[in-house]
Structure formats: structure tokens, C-alpha cells
């Protein structure tokens, strides 16, 4: 039952993923969550985020943002990045993950999702069948409802690591 929340891959940060390797593996689209995945919650695009998106475009990726946040917040983040985005995405619902792929012109088989929450980001992307990356949150400062979910995530990650070690699931 917990496996629906398991990511395919885990990274310390969106900024340490080997994107060139992902491209060599055949991936062509990347869908990012924003808050605590690319920047601290509510922050504008940082120079590091701007540089990452530019690098991904140069590699050849199509990139789309998907956030449960409101239009003003997502547009403010995207101002200096200028890529396609979906706000009020209602993750973990599948609809907007599929919509993001349509926007980018990619398929399930060649799209990666990167996010910092298991119960919205990873679960939603897993429901669609995407390659999922779970990254550590950038900032420990979070809203109270997320703090509660983080406690539950630790339980899921405990069983994830246990299943990985026992060979019940495979690392991609």
C-alpha cells in the first residue's frame, strides 16, 4: 500500500541531479514543483533556479512548472524564468500532470517529475506513471499542515529504504 508513495529516485536537491544522464536515458520533459523544490516556500526565482532552467533548456529539455499554489505566486516565480506553468494544480490529481505533458509535447515514458512532497508530488506523478524524483525540501520552515505530512513521510521513507534494501523494489 505504501508503494504508491515511493519515489523512483531520491536526490538531496533538484540542483544535484545529473540532468545530462537523464537526457541520455531518453527523458525529454521535466515537470517541477516550485516551493521547497526549486526555492524556499513563497520565494521568487533565485539566480540558481534561473540558471538551472536555462541549463535544462540548453541540454534540450522541455520544462513545465506545476504548483498547487495560486496564479499570482506561480507567475511571480516564473517572471524571470519564462516557462510554461500550471497553477492551482490540485496535486495529487492526475489531470494537470497529463496537461503538463501535453503543454511540453512529451509522453509518460520520457517525462520526469521532481518534487519535495510524497503525498502530493510523488503520489500524483506515480498515479500517472511518471519517473519520479523526491528531493529534500530546501527549507525546514513550512506551513503547519506540511509539517504534519513530513512526519508521515518519514514513516513512508523508512519502509521505502527497507524495501529497497531487501530488494522488494528496485532503484532506477
- pLDDT tens for the chain, 172 residues long, are 788 999 999 999 999 999 999 999 999 999 999 999 999 989 999 999 999 999 999 999 999 999 999 999 999 999 999 999 999 999 999 999 999 999 999 999 999 999 999 999 999 999 999 999 999 999 767 666 677 787 888 888 888 889 888 888 877 7
pTM: 0.91
Give the CATH number of domain 2-98+111-166; options: 3.30.420.40, 3.40.50.180, 3.90.78.10, 3.40.50.1000. 3.40.50.1000
Instruction: Give the pLDDT score at 152.
Output: 86
Q: In the prediction, which pLDDT does 87 show?
A: 97
| Residue 42 CA, distance from chain mean position | 16
d(CA 130, CA 110): 8
How many Å apart are CA 122 and CA 128, to the nearest integer? 10
Q: State the Cα–Cα distance between residues 92 and 94, nearest whole angstrom.
A: 6
Longest dimension (CA), the chain: 45
Domain ranges of the chain: 2-98+111-166
Degrees to nearest 5, angle at CA 26 with 20 and 31: 75
- pLDDT at 111 (0 to 100): 98
Residues 6+ apart with CB under 8 A from 37: 14, 114, 115, 116, 121, 135, 137, 138
| Per-residue pLDDT at 144 | 63
pLDDT reported for residue 170: 76
Amino acid at each position: 500500500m505504501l508503494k504508491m508513495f515511493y519515489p523512483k529516485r531520491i536526490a538531496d536537491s533538484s540542483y544535484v541531479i545529473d540532468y545530462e544522464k537523464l537526457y541520455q536515458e531518453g527523458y525529454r520533459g521535466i515537470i517541477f514543483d516550485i516551493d521547497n523544490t526549486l526555492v524556499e516556500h513563497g520565494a521568487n526565482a533565485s539566480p540558481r533556479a534561473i540558471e538551472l532552467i536555462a541549463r535544462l533548456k540548453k541540454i534540450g529539455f522541455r520544462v513545465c512548472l506545476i504548483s498547487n499554489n495560486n496564479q499570482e505566486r506561480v507567475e511571480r516565480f516564473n517572471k524571470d524564468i519564462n516557462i510554461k506553468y500550471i497553477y492551482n494544480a490540485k496535486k495529487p490529481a492526475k489531470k494537470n500532470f497529463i496537461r503538463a505533458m501535453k503543454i511540453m509535447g512529451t509522453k509518460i515514458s520520457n517525462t520526469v517529475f521532481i518534487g519535495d512532497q510524497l503525498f502530493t508530488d510523488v503520489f500524483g506523478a506515480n498515479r500517472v506513471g511518471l519517473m519520479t524524483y523526491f528531493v529534500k525540501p530546501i527549507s525546514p520552515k513550512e506551513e503547519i499542515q506540511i509539517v504534519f505530512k513530513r512526519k508521515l513521510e518519514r514513516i513512508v521513507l523508512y519502509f521505502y529504504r527497507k524495501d529497497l534494501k531487501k530488494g522488494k523494489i528496485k532503484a532506477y
